[in-house]
Amino acid sequence: MKTKKVIDNSKLGLLVIAGLLFLVLTLYMIGRNKNLFGTSVTITAVVDNVSGLVPGNNVRYKGMNIGTVRSISMENDSSIFITMAVQRRMKEFIKKNALTSINTDGLMGNKILQILPQGGYAPMISEGDTLFAQVGLDTEEMLRTLESTGDYLEKTFYNLSNVSQKLNESQALWSLLSDTLLTAEIKAAVEEIRDAGNNASEMAQAGTRMIRTLEKGEGLVRQVFTDTLMAGNFAHSIEHLLEVSEQTKDIMEQVKSILTDIENSEGTAKLVLEDPALKEAVLNSMLNIEEGTAAFSENMEAMRSNFLFRRYFRRLEREEQREQEQRQQEATKNGN
């Protein structure tokens, strides 16, 4: 009886000792993961949004868990201070210019505070140092942006589907595309446009050749402007035409005077003119002569404005002006 009691007590003692050892081991493992045991360095991170980070979350550096978040406090309306405990042995690898970022452990895991190393020279961190947050994209903001983009793409695809359906249901469009006669007419129209372009190109080339010929001084234009003999003959012809025009005007005035005298006088001429048919014929002849004279005068005025003869008429005007000035000077001398 006594032996059985001792055995039961021994079993109970072993069970209690095993439980205590398991509890100590569990506390040690938890403390090791949470940096409750061992030496650590306390540093602070300043962020504007914790994005769901809570005390106890891991601090990660280059993929390694090196500490835990101890506390989170809000100092003002734009700055949140996160106090973390980092393993002391890791402080010689973390520089003071490092930045912090709050991310998610996996796709749907807990939040973690990541320390991101930066290039350049900077001293290592020490107790009480402050790290600042990296300006980057927030995961939730990215998801919202993707959601809005997805809505926009959905509307776009819906509109494209409607357009495609309308095109498939449009009999006029497919009949137009399958009309071989219309296709042939379009091809013919394109050929005509191409021919018109070729003709325009040939006309432009011909115009270019003509301009180059004029620049070289070949042909009648060159003779008119450079051949002094031809220019003199042409000027003489113009003077002769002007004289004929003046003489024609004088003749018309004389004819008008004679007709007036005949109408006012008595005799055979008046009797002849009283014949309506003969009188109409004479009047028509006079009108034709006047029209011819007027047309001739218009032609002369047109020749005056033509660029080929403009220089000649300007020279005649200057000569007439010099003659008038000479006559005025002679009249002034005679008066003196």
- pLDDT tens figures, 189-220: 888 888 888 888 888 888 787 777 766 655 55
What is the dihedral sign for C-alpha 312, 318, 322, 323?
positive
pLDDT tens for each residue of 58-73: 999 998 999 999 999 9
145 found inside a domain: no
Q: Are residues 321 and 262 in the same domain?
A: yes
User: For residues 87 and 35, what is the distance between their CA atoms, to the nearest angstrom?
Assistant: 7
150 found inside a domain: no
Q: Are residues 234 and 306 in the same domain?
A: yes
User: For residues 231 and 167, what is the distance between their CA atoms, to the nearest angstrom?
Assistant: 75
The domain containing residue 28 runs over which residues? 1-33
4 found inside a domain: yes
Q: Are residues 10 and 83 in the same domain?
A: no
Cα distances (angstroms) measured from residue 7 to each of 1, 10, 16: 10, 5, 14
pLDDT at 112: 92
pTM of the predicted model as reported, rounded to 2 decimal places: 0.36
pLDDT over 80 (residue 18): yes
Q: What is the CATH number of the domain that holds 113?
A: 2.40.30
154 found inside a domain: no
* Helix (H) and strand (E) counts in the chain: 9, 7
Longest Cα separation, the chain: 195
Q: Are residues 17 and 45 in the same domain?
A: no
Total domains in the fold of the chain: 3
Q: Are residues 47 and 127 in the same domain?
A: yes
74 found inside a domain: yes
Q: Are residues 15 and 54 in the same domain?
A: no
263 found inside a domain: yes
Q: Are the beta carbons of 59 and 84 closer than 8 angstroms?
A: yes
